Amino acid sequence: MMEFEVWAEKYRPKSLKEVINQKHVVERLKAFVKNKNIPHCMFAGPAGTGKTTCALAMASDLYGKYWKANVLETNASDERGIDIVRHKIKDFSRMKAIGNVPYKLVILDEADALTRDAQQALRRTMENFTRTARFVLICNYSSRIIDPIQSRAAIFRFRPLSEEHQKKYIDRIVKGEKLKISTSGIKAILNLAEGDLRRVANLLQASAGLKKNITEDVVYEAAARAKPRDVEEMLKLVMKGNFKDARKRLNDMILIQGLSAEDIIREIHSQIYKLDVPEEDKIKLIDMTGEYDFRISQGGSELLQLEALLAQFLMLSKK
């Protein structure tokens, strides 16, 4: 196991051929690269689905050994004002590209963090330097990008990765790092990652830092998240009228395991659907959970609010 290298970066695809899952995006990008004719692009979708990876892989395929000299990668969450557009991006865009591709590539990560003034300046820059630069805007929320920019770009929608592709990625890392992982450990990572491949790699690395043999318990310990079976047992106890033992399980999770109320409530929400109660009661339980999640977000005592939520579950079970 490498100590100072993040696996998400180490196992990142270096070419569009290596990108998994996003076929509806990759096939179009391959055609652009083949013709050496790339339009302004906007990559939108959830975190960890390969947006930045696709942009860098496309640049590598397009420019070959000159790709680093022809690509400006900047993160708008760090440099989000109008000055970054007026100076850094404009200066890079007006310079001629190296190699046989007539334009450079500007990759603007987290573009939805740009201010509106910066986006207006970027719109003009995209117009004025089309011959010497093409722009790839990467964002989680395309609605935060102004319409004039969206109309100038080819929009690509990225989807969360399927479990099948996440498992292939896990196998690749496990073989590369010579690890052992149980079936329950893989299932735990998939449950926590929710289609985010970056989170898959980070969970694997954090778990491997604890033990070489990765199990479900190791994954949840590394993630500092509530174990589904602990929350499941707590809810079963309270729905059977055993409030004392259910409260003890809750105290163990908060005081001994050090879990946050947010993580526990998120798992409670997931477990509600598995309870053996009528659908109408599940709707009421979800409504209660949302109410107490709001109370905690407004500064309420985590332990007190979660105990109150358990009390509401108990009252409903008795009805």
Confidence bin at 87 (pLDDT 50/70/90): confident
Whole-angstrom distance, CA of residue 145 vs CA of residue 141: 8
Confidence bin at 290 (pLDDT 50/70/90): very high
Domains of the chain from N-terminus onward: 22-157 (3.40.50.300), 163-223 (1.10.8.60), 228-318 (1.20.272.10)
Predicted TM-score of the model (pTM): 0.76
Query: Residue 4: what pLDDT?
Result: 40
Q: Amino acid identity of 195?
A: G
Task: Phi first, then psi: give them for residue 274, nearest 5 degrees.
Answer: -95, -5
Please identify which residue in the block is written with the tokens 């996440």.
166
Query: Residue 287: what pLDDT?
Result: 94
Mean pLDDT of the chain: 87
> For 2-6, 113-117, 128-132, 215-219, which range has the lowest pLDDT when averaged over its residues?
2-6
Confidence bin at 293 (pLDDT 50/70/90): very high
Whole-angstrom distance, CA of residue 233 vs CA of residue 225: 16
User: Would you say residue 78 has pLDDT above 80?
Assistant: no
* Residue with the larger pLDDT of the pair 318 and 319: 318
- Contact (Cβ atoms closer than 8 angstroms) between residue 48 and residue 169: no
Q: In 10 A of CB 11, how many CB atoms?
A: 17
Give the model confidence (pLDDT) of 107-150 as tens digits: 988 888 888 888 888 888 888 888 888 999 999 988 899 999 99
User: Would you say residue 2 has pLDDT above 60?
Assistant: no
User: Would you say residue 12 has pLDDT above 90?
Assistant: no
User: Would you say residue 263 has pLDDT above 90?
Assistant: no
SS (H, E, C) the chain: CCCCCCHHHHCCCCCHHHCCCCHHHHHHHHHHHHHCCCCCEEEECCCCCCHHHHHHHHHHHHHHHHCCCCEEEEECCCCCCHHHHHHHHHHHHCCCCCCCCCCEEEEEECHHHCCHHHHHHHHHHHHHCCCCEEEEEEECCHHHCCHHHHCCCEEEECCCCCHHHHHHHHHHHHHHHCCEECHHHHHHHHHHHCCCHHHHHHHHHHHHHHCCEECHHHHHHHHCCCCHHHHHHHHHHHHCCCHHHHHHHHHHHHHHCCCCHHHHHHHHHHHHCCCCCCHHHHHHHHHHHHHHHHHHHCCCCHHHHHHHHHHHHHHHHHC
User: Would you say residue 3 has pLDDT above 80?
Assistant: no
Whole-angstrom distance, CA of residue 156 vs CA of residue 39: 12
Query: Residue 258: what pLDDT?
Result: 83
Percentage of the chain lying above the pLDDT 70 cut: 95
Confidence bin at 304 (pLDDT 50/70/90): very high
Torsion of CA 122, 124, 127, 130, to 10 degrees: -50
- Contact (Cβ atoms closer than 8 angstroms) between residue 63 and residue 15: no
Confidence bin at 98 (pLDDT 50/70/90): confident
